[in-house]
Structure formats: structure tokens, C-alpha cells
């Protein structure tokens, strides 16, 4: 071969090598590189196998992404740049857990998994690809959009429990969901966000299955359309059909802070994974408004139970840690961690909120056992004649407010606030007390207790308790001749409680969630036995032929009032998941590596994601 030919061949080989390197770089580009600061959305590639994603030919495959916005954001604020801060470790060291203790938990973990498998089998056989199963009648229910909520909500639980065959089958079913299609006249965007988008993102973070990310982008785009209002505040009870027709959308005049704030974790994580910062920007702007409302409310530091998001007003006079606000409060330390500690506003919001909560909402209930415990009540604010606010504690406690113990445990460790660990222990012990005091050993949806006059000394007073029961009943049904002893007996009111407005138990996870969080942060081994006793009690009381069903009355230890015909998706996705995790080794979904959204779905923290990426590049 002459010299000219060798030179020509060499040039060709160099060109081929450079071309291949260019293609490799393009195909392996970092998905977290932020796009230009512009409201336009970046292109998202179509699924690799379109045959796996059947759809209505009359509708485009990316309906919500292609839908023009009536009120686009004027600017896209990027996620904070730079490396994540070196945040404090949240979990107690594994050396605090003995081998004997870990060995003892294996049979408990297996029992929880067996309960899950039994419920999953019933759902698959009787309600597959529908929202939820009615376990008494054996009928499917579609009250959450008809998109298979139980299916999506439990993807990560299947993976965590090592049920990979069932997981793969579920993923195949999820690829068939058409989020563009729903018969529901109204969509609860809060539930869709936390259960569907949260479930898809967590399952993707755990498995790396690209199909789940594709579906998460679809859901994210749909929910993003609910922000298309004049002030960019999301509609929480949303008519997607009106939005599809590009009719006017307005933020609501009455919604809860829990619902309107719930997007911050899911939208942030979606932006971190895809690089599309429209999502995180939309959620962040809502939180900026909520930060302003926090200072302007009638009880600065807390948010009222009702917000007027259309007028950006927070002038309601009732405050609670219950269902109207739980997701907002618990998201604050988690958002700080998910953003790698690079956005201080979430720490500021958490510290302001917890100061007010500790001063006004938390109270010590008088109890016959003399336990030094705390529970979260509600606060009513009235204005005096001179225009100053006056607060009044309403000692009504919601089961859903039991998240507070876990929040104080995580926030106290993350922000190094020692008093919060003490508060966390008292709050968790308070929810355990409220459960164990009931005739069935299960906490009701709502109860009222006798507040102690002092948090340092609170001796039991039988007469005072009965007087408070008498007074409470007379405010509802005036009867000066009421016999308190007979009323307590007939209504099965435990000592220390003055009323139980809602006697149901709806398979809720909040108590075991906080027990799990506190155990992981402190290593308190007595919580393991408490959790096991709680699991056995709930399982024995709620187990029915086709799964588990809620209870009508937790004060009825004879079981005469029966069950409610609904197995909420969160029974498996949260309640059983937290029971399973507390009996697992502490390295499984470490709180140093993951944050759990309000529906119990774990998202990778930036530090873990960067470590995994560095390992893959080696």
C-alpha cells in the first residue's frame, strides 16, 4: 500500500473514531444538565417500543405537553447549582442494633410481607388495574381517576419486598395507563401527585426502569397543566376536561395548604432526573407564596386550614396539624434535604412553623398512667376589640396529625435542634398511648382529650376528667341532668378522653410512620416491640376474606359494628411498607440516602445519586 493510500486510510479511521466518540457522548449525555432558562419545554423522546403503549389514535401521545399554556411562567428559576451540602447523618448508627435484635425481626418482617402478599393477590384477582378494592364485596372501585391507584402506589413496595416478578408484571400494566383518559369529572391533583407521580418516581429511583420515568413525565405534564392559572397557583380539584378544551382555569378560593403545597418533593425530583426545570420552578413558586402567607397568617408560623389561592389570602382563623396541613409541614425538612441543603428557605419555614406549633398546638393530655407525652391539637384564633389576636386551644387530635413525631425527629436531626428529639419522643409516645388506650388497641380518626394545666406536672384527677366529659357533651347536646358515668359507659370512652367524634380507623399509616422515623433516628429498641404489637392488633382487627378493611368503631372491642368496605391503596403502600421497613436492617432505605414523600414513596437524595453516578463512570 503506497503512502498516499495509507494517509487516506488513516484520515478515514480518525474520522470514524471521532464520529463514534461524538455519538457516544451524545447518547450518554448527563440527564441532569439544566436546559436554557426558558418557558419552552425540552423534547422528551418517545418510548422505545411504541407497541407497548397503545393509545387512542384520535389523541396525540403527549396531549398535556403539546397543550398551549394560557398563562406561561415569565421565567424559569433553575434548581440551586453546586454540590450538595454535607448534611448531618439522620440515622442512628447500625452498631446500636444488636445481632440478636436483627435476627428477632426476621419473622416479624416475614409476617408483614405475608400480609402484603395476601392483599396484593386479592387486588390482582378482583380489582386489577382499578383504583382500589372493596374487600367486603370484592368489587373494584375507581374514585381516584380510574388509573389504577393501588397498582402505581405499590410499585416501590413490591420492589422493596423483593417481589420482582410481581413488580415486572405491574410495570407492564402501568405502561398501558392512559392518563389522558378519565371518566372522573374532577381530579384530586394532590392525590394524583403524591400517589401516582410519587409512586412512579420512587419505583424508577429503585429499579432504573426507563418506562417508569416515561410515565412519570406524562403524569408530570398533566399535573403541570393544573398550574395554568392567572397567578400560577395549582388547582387541587381539577376538571381536566376543561383544561383539555383550553377553557379558563382559576385557582380555588377555598383549598387546604396540604393540597396546594404537595408538589414540592415530586416536582423537584422529576426536574432533578429529567433536567426539565419547569416542574421544580412551578412548585417552588407556590412555596415562595406559602412562605409569605406563613408570616401573614393570624397565627404567624402556621398556615390556616383554608387558603384562598385565587386571591393569595390566608385569613382563616383555624389552625391544625391534621389532614388540612400535614403534607405541608412534613415536606419542609424533606425539601431541604432533597435540594441538598442548598435552599435555606425550607429550613427557615420549618423552624418558624415548629416554634409556633410547639407553643400553641402541642399539649400534654391528662392520663391515668401519668405518662409525660404530647399530642397535637387545633388552635382557634379570635381578634379582640383592640385588634390583637387571642388563641384558644381545641384539644381535638386527628390520627393524621401523628406524622408530627416523625417530622420533629427528622427535622431535629437534620437541623441539629436537640429539643426537637425530646418533642419527637413525646409525640410518638402520645400516639402510642392514644392507640393502646382504646378498647381495640387502635387509635380512632379523631378524639378529644383533657389538656393538662402544666406540661411539667399533671396528676390524674378522676373527677376533673368526668367533669370535662360532662361539659363537652353539654356543648353539643345541652342536658344539665346528664349522668357522666352512664355516658362514659354507654359511649365506651376511655379514661383521659372526653369525646371521640370519629370512631373509625381507615387503615392509616401515620402512627407507624412516626414510630419508624423515630426508631431510625434514635435507635430506641422498645419501639420494635411496640410496632409488632401494633401490627398484630391491626392485622387481627382488620383482616377480612379479601384483604384488610377499615373499622367502623375502635371502641367496639366486641366487633359488633364491623368494617368499612374499602381497602385504601395506602394500606399496602404506606402502612404495611413502614411496618416492613421498621423490621428490616437500618441500611434498607436509609434516611441518609432517601426522603419519603407524604405518600410513603422514597426519593434518592442528591448525594446518593451522585455517588451512584460516579461509581457507574469508574
Cα(200)–Cα(212) distance, integer angstroms:
6
Cα(471)–Cα(447) distance, integer angstroms:
15
- Through-space distance between the first and last CA atoms of the chain, rounded to whole angstroms: 40
Residue 200 cell numbers, joined: 412512579
Is the alpha carbon torsion for 588, 211, 595, 343 positive or negative?
A: positive
156 near 202, Cβ under 8 Å?
A: yes
SS3 of residue 210 by DSSP? helix
Element (H, E) at 101: helix 99-127
* Closest C-alpha among 207, 167, 162, 205 to residue 580: 162
Is the alpha carbon torsion for 397, 317, 357, 313 positive or negative?
A: positive
* Closest C-alpha among 374, 278, 366, 376 to residue 323: 376
Report residue 46: phi and psi, to 5°.
Answer: -70, 160
Cα(523)–Cα(528) distance, integer angstroms:
10
Cα(455)–Cα(360) distance, integer angstroms:
13
Element (H, E) at 389: strand 389-394
Report residue 508: phi and psi, to 5°.
Answer: -70, 150
Burial label, 105 (beta-carbon count in 10 A; 0-12, 13-18, 19+):
middle
316 is in an annotated binding site: no
Residue 554 cell numbers, joined: 375502635
SS3 of residue 595 by DSSP? strand
**Residues near 340 by beta carbon (within 8 Å), at least 6 away in sequence:** 80, 83, 84, 85, 87, 605, 606, 607
Indicate the annotated binding residues for Ca(2+): 598
Amino acid at each position: 500500500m503506497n503512502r498516499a493510500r495509507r494517509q487516506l486510510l488513516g484520515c478515514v479511521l480518525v474520522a470514524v473514531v471521532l464520529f463514534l466518540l461524538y455519538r457516544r457522548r451524545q447518547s450518554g449525555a448527563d440527564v441532569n444538565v439544566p436546559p436554557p432558562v426558558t418557558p419552552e419545554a425540552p423534547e422528551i423522546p418517545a418510548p422505545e417500543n411504541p407497541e407497548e403503549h397503545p393509545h387512542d389514535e384520535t389523541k396525540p401521545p403527549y396531549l398535556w405537553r403539546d397543550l398551549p399554556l394560557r398563562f406561561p411562567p415569565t421565567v424559569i428559576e433553575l434548581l440551586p447549582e453546586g454540590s450538595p451540602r454535607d448534611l448531618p447523618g439522620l440515622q442512628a448508627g447500625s452498631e446500636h442494633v444488636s445481632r440478636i435484635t436483627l435476627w428477632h425481626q426476621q419473622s416479624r418482617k416475614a409476617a408483614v410481607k405475608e400480609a402484603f402478599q395476601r392483599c396484593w393477590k386479592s387486588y390482582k384477582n378482583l380489582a386489577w388495574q382499578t383504583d382500589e378494592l372493596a374487600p367486603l364485596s370484592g368489587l373494584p372501585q375507581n374514585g381516584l381517576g380510574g388509573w389504577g391507584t393501588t397498582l402505581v402506589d405499590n410499585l416501590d413496595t413490591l420492589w422493596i419486598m423483593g417481589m420482582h416478578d410481581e413488580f415486572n408484571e405491574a410495570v407492564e400494566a402501568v405502561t398501558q395507563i392512559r392518563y389522558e383518559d378519565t371518566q372522573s369529572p374532577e381530579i384530586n391533583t394532590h392525590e394524583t401527585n403524591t400517589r401516582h407521580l410519587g409512586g412512579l418516581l420512587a419505583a424508577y429511583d429503585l429499579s432504573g426502569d426507563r418506562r417508569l420515568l416515561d410515565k412519570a413525565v406524562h403524569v408530570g405534564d398533566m399535573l403541570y397543566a393544573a398550574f395554568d392559572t392567572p397567578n400560577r397557583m395549582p388547582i387541587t380539584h381539577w376538571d381536566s376536561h376543561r383544561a383539555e378544551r383550553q377553557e379558563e382555569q382559576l385557582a380555588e378560593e377555598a383549598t387546604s395548604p396540604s393540597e396546594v403545597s404537595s408538589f414540592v418533593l415530586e416536582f423537584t425530583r422529576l426536574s432533578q432526573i429529567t433536567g426539565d426545570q419547569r416542574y421544580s420552578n412551578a412548585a417552588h413558586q407556590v412555596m415562595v407564596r406559602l412562605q409569605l402567607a406563613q408570616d401573614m397568617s393570624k397565627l404567624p408560623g402556621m398556615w390556616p386550614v383554608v387558603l384562598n389561592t385565587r386571591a393569595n389570602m390566608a385569613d382563616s382563623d383555624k389552625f391544625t396539624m391534621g389532614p388540612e396541613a400535614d403534607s405541608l409541614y412534613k415536606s419542609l425538612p424533606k425539601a431541604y434535604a432533597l435540594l441538598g441543603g442548598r435552599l435555606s428557605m425550607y429550613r427557615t419555614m420549618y423552624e418558624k412553623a415548629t416554634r409556633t406549633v410547639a407553643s400553641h398546638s402541642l399539649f400534654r393530655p391528662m392520663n391515668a398512667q401519668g405518662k409525660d407525652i404530647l399530642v397535637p391539637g387545633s388552635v382557634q384564633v379570635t381578634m379582640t376589640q383592640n385588634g390583637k389576636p387571642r388563641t384558644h386551644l381545641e384539644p381535638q387530635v386527628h390520627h393524621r396529625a401523628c406524622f408530627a413525631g416523625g417530622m420533629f425527629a427528622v427535622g431535629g436531626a437534620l437541623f441539629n435542634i436537640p429539643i426537637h428529639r425530646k418533642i419527637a419522643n413525646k409525640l410518638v409516645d402520645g400516639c402510642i398511648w392514644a392507640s393502646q388506650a382504646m378498647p381495640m388497641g387502635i387509635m380512632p380518626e379523631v378524639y378529644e382529650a383533657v389538656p393538662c394545666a402544666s406540661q411539667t406536672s399533671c396528676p390524674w384527677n378522676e373527677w376533673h376528667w368526668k367533669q370535662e366529659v360532662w361539659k363537652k357533651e353539654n356543648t353539643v347536646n345541652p342536658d344539665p341532668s346528664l349522668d357522666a358515668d352512664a355516658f362514659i359507659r354507654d359511649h365506651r370512652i376511655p379514661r383521659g378522653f372526653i369525646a371521640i367524634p370519629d370512631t373509625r380507623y381507615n387503615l392509616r399509616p401515620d402512627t407507624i410512620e412516626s414510630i419508624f422515623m423515630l426508631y431510625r433516628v434514635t435507635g430506641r429498641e422498645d419501639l420494635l416491640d411496640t410496632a409488632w404489637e401494633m401490627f398484630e392488633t391491626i392485622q387481627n382487627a382488620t383482616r377480612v376474606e379479601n384483604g384488610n378493611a377499615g373499622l367502623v368503631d375502635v371502641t367496639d372491642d366486641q366487633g359488633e359494628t364491623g368494617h368499612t368496605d374499602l381497602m385504601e391503596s395506602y394500606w399496602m403502600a404506606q402502612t404495611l411498607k413502614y411496618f416492613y421497613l421498621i423490621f428490616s436492617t437500618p441500611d434498607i432505605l436509609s434516611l441518609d440516602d432517601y426522603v419519603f414523600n407524604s405518600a410513603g414513596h422514597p426519593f434518592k437524595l442528591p448525594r446518593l445519586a451522585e455517588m451512584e453516578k460516579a461509581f457507574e463512570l469508574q
